[in-house]
Amino acid sequence: MTGMPRRVSAQRGTTLRCRGWRQETILRLLENNLENAENPDALVVYMSVAKAARDWECYERIVAALGRLETGQTLVMQSGKPIGIFQTRSDGPLVVMANGNLVPAWSSDDHVDEFVGKGLTIVPGFTAAAWQYIGSQGIVQGTYETFMACARKHFGGSMKGRWLLTGGCGGMGGAQPLAGVMAGAATLVVEADPAKIQRRIDTGYCQHMVPDLDAALKLVLAGKSAGTPISVGLVGNCADVLPEILRRNLLPDVVTDQTSTEPVGGYIPASIPLEETRRLWINEPESVKPLVYEAMRMHVEAMSEFQRRGSVVFEYGNNLRNRATVAGGAKHAFEIPSFVDLFLRPYFCEGIGPFRWIAVSGDPADIHAIDELVLREFTGNEQVRSWIRKAREFVKFQGLPARIAWLGHGERSRLAVLVNGMVARGELNAPIAFTRDHLDAASAAMPYRETENMRDGSDAIADWPILNALLNGAAGADLVTVHQLGDYGQSAGVTLVADGTAGAAVRLQRVLDCDTGLGVLRLADAGYETALAAKKRHALGL
């Protein structure tokens, strides 16, 4: 069945195809990845290359394996390909994965392309190959929290009356227009592929799509002047648009970017049309790379000039600075800081990060019931209560209904156990899956993102995500994964199922406390005072 594309949607309701709800939940999460995918026919979830399975034959084998998987067995996955089912233990992982991991000297972009072309590995992204993607709603709070942290640091706590300029409206960047509006900003997102902007319009994540800069500026600057939140998707290329805004002597308050930076299949050069780019990606991929890197150079150097003129500028974790510098020869790219280093590391020191839950029943009422639980039980955390209220107003579900909230050590396990009790009492229609982004305290070693400028110089130490996966597996997670992103990062993911059983309550408590606890210890080990205080407060470590 290799090469047989088709559309996949997550099953809803309470009919089981697998031998238990834990297995059925993992299968529905895989299906949900593809329901929300940017290019589902190619099994590509986001980033233009990040895949849920190696090919359609592997996908069919995964589905069949999950269908016959017994409790006490573990399915082993190697870069999107099912390898075997092993007898393990009843409270052990149902699925373990390693995706995209290469020996360091063989992990350059060219080597990755070579191994992918041979069908030996995949580009996993973060949540794509781990079957944890929930659409743009999965990153919208992280983007919102970043924008709000920027507002608190630079603009007195509000983005009202501020102009936010950014790029990228794909599976990750597509959260930016909505997050900008939720933060109160006049938000302009530049995207070369109009279909990506249209998708955000259709899903309620962007308000306007315009074909030229003049129309975009008219809307955005009017919103800025009136203090009215607005989101505008401009069909254009950052390498053209940003230098033109500079030539007009206009100065956004904030400049960032979430454009895909994959040189083949992702970043679109400014010098040739979109359709010609797509043809070259297929027929002459090497010929398009110099054009891509030149556009990246122009893009990053324009961002750097905005910073010199007074804008708040940061990269949002897409490796743009690195690729523009190494391959494009950009100057001053690393004078632009990372969003984690600027705004989010204090959260990580407390074990706080992007926690998410998915209603595998497909019924939005299950998520609404958990919303009420959060509002009722977490009265001491006004930040998360405020977010839940905003999310209910602004964030539309994509695929299986889901919610994300930034909760910390002890809070995640408390919520999960409470939800497990709701499942046990029949207050929810079906089990709930808990997972998180790989953007978290101990789950990533990304020297140009999560671990940039670590206090102790441990930016590139990849032991931590590997330890994270090992520890979560030992604690009894339902799914554990270790990912590598070429030569610039390592990450780990975890998924748990609240099926209402007493065993699930034990595993939820144990795994989630291990997951966030290791994150606190990782930052404490690096010498951050907030993490050291959290370590002491929670009695973590030796």
Instruction: Quick: pLDDT tens for 517-527.
Output: 999 999 999 99
- Residues 402-422: what's their mean pLDDT? 97
Q: Is the pLDDT of residue 436 over 80?
A: yes
pTM of the model: 0.92
Q: Is the pLDDT of residue 23 over 70?
A: yes
pLDDT digits (tens, 9 = 90+) for 241-279: 999 999 999 999 999 999 999 999 999 999 999 999 999
Q: How distant, in Å, are the alpha carbons of 24, 107, 392, 423, 511 from that of 369? A: 22, 45, 12, 11, 24
pLDDT value of residue 7: 86
pLDDT value of residue 5: 58
pLDDT digits (tens, 9 = 90+) for 153-201: 999 999 999 999 999 999 889 999 999 999 999 999 999 999 999 999 9
pLDDT digits (tens, 9 = 90+) for 195-228: 999 999 999 999 999 999 999 999 999 999 999 9
- Residues 111-120: what's their mean pLDDT? 95
* Burial classification of residue 302, based on how many CB atoms lie within 10 Å of its CB (0-12 exposed, 13-18 middle, 19 or more buried): buried
Report how far residue 208's alpha carbon sits from residue 318's, in angstroms, rounded to the nearest whole number: 24
DSSP 8-state secondary structure symbol assigned to residue 338: B
Task: Enumerate domains of the chain plus CATH numbers.
Answer: 21-117 (no CATH), 137-337 (3.40.50.10730), 350-537 (3.40.1770.10)
pLDDT digits (tens, 9 = 90+) for 357-367: 999 999 999 99
Instruction: Provide the residue count of the chain.
Output: 542
pLDDT value of residue 4: 53
Q: Is the distance from CB of 375 to CB of 388 less than 8 angstroms?
A: yes
Q: Is the pLDDT of residue 55 over 60?
A: yes
* Burial classification of residue 2, based on how many CB atoms lie within 10 Å of its CB (0-12 exposed, 13-18 middle, 19 or more buried): exposed
Q: Is the pLDDT of residue 54 over 80?
A: yes
- Residues 500-508: what's their mean pLDDT? 98
Indicate the average pLDDT of the chain.
95
Residues 6+ apart with CB under 8 A from 489: 444, 445, 446, 447, 448, 449, 450
Q: Is the pLDDT of residue 460 over 60?
A: yes
> How many Cβ atoms sit within 10 Å of the Cβ of residue 29?
27
- Residues 422-443: what's their mean pLDDT? 94
Strands 163-167 and 254-255: parallel
Q: Is the distance from CB of 228 to CB of 423 less than 8 angstroms?
A: no
Confidence class for position 438, pLDDT limits 50, 70, 90: confident
pLDDT value of residue 440: 83
**Token pair 């539309």 is at which residue?**
396
pLDDT value of residue 1: 42
Nearest of 480, 465, 464 to residue 76 by alpha carbon: 480
Q: Is the pLDDT of residue 84 over 80?
A: yes
Q: Is the pLDDT of residue 6 over 90?
A: no
- Residues 456-469: what's their mean pLDDT? 97
